[in-house]
Amino acid sequence: MSKMETIRSAWKAVLFGVFALAAIPGQARAADLAVLRNGFTIRHDRRQIIGENTRLFTAADESSFVDVPTAEIEGFEKDLTLPPRLPEPVPASSHTPLDLNQVVNSASATYHLDPDLVNSVIHAESGFNSRAVSRKGAQGLMQLMPGTAGLLGVTNPLDPKANVTGGTRYLRQLLERYNFDLVKALAAYNAGPLRVEQYRGIPPYRETRAYVAKIVRDYNRKKIAQEKAEAAAAKTNRARKAAVASGSKAQLNNVDQQQ
């Protein structure tokens, strides 16, 4: 089975659980690593078999856990390293808009999404700060949780290209999952697919509702501005053609001055 097929087979069962990985405390303590068939590992304090899944508890108080299909786990080993410290956020001015535009355009073309939509998600997630790290542990421009980043093959979520490529791919997967219902896909990006399916739409969470509204509003604003610009350009072209057809140099000069 290929790496991509393994990720897809485990996706539905694992997807919501990975959002809990942010709760791993920074202090050292005994822990194990679950080694997955796709090559990734999940650090946890203890585990419990529940049906066909293995629940990996990622926090001492059992408030955070990941449910992984047992068949996708190759084995377990002791984690002899200390949990990595999350990097401190740095000002958003550390990257150039031109480079980011190239990254967004490339990822959007690869996954057939509108770059304006991807930019609206980045704006809502991190404010275009490639080094942003949330209190829950989400990292980078599109705020990927460690577990989600792992499933997407993103080894360094703070690398702008890797982060945007992974986040755009994830957004495309969510859109396909919900038959390209943008509202549901955005809600799932924020709160997790299982919550969207539980409530058959946007979950009744203030944060998620505000998040979806912010992105939709920002995206619509961009589209409206583009339509106005295109309409103005079309009007100018028509006026120019009319001036050329009539042979009126004065009328042509007037059109040029209005641009």
What CA–CA distance (Å, rounded) separates 49 from 56? 9
Maximal CA-CA distance, the chain: 85
230 is catalytic: no
Q: Which residues contact 171 (CB under 8 A, 6 or more apart)?
A: 111, 113, 117, 118, 121, 142, 185, 189
**Tokens 């982060």 label which residue?**
163
Amino acid at 49: I
Contact 34, 44 (CB under 8 A): yes
Other Cβ atoms closer than 10 A to 216:
16
CA 144 to chain centre: 6
Could you give the CA distance from residue 202 to residue 98 in angstroms, rounded to a whole number? Answer: 34
Q: Of residues 5, 72, 125, 227, which has the active-site annotation?
A: 125
Dist. CA 130–CA 160, nearest whole Å: 6
- Which residues sit opposite 68 in a β-bridge? 54
**Residue 35 backbone class (left: φ over 0; alpha: ψ -120 to 50; beta: rest):** beta
Alpha-carbon gap, residue 72 to 40, rounded angstroms: 11
Q: Where in the sequence numbering do the catalytic residues fall?
A: 125
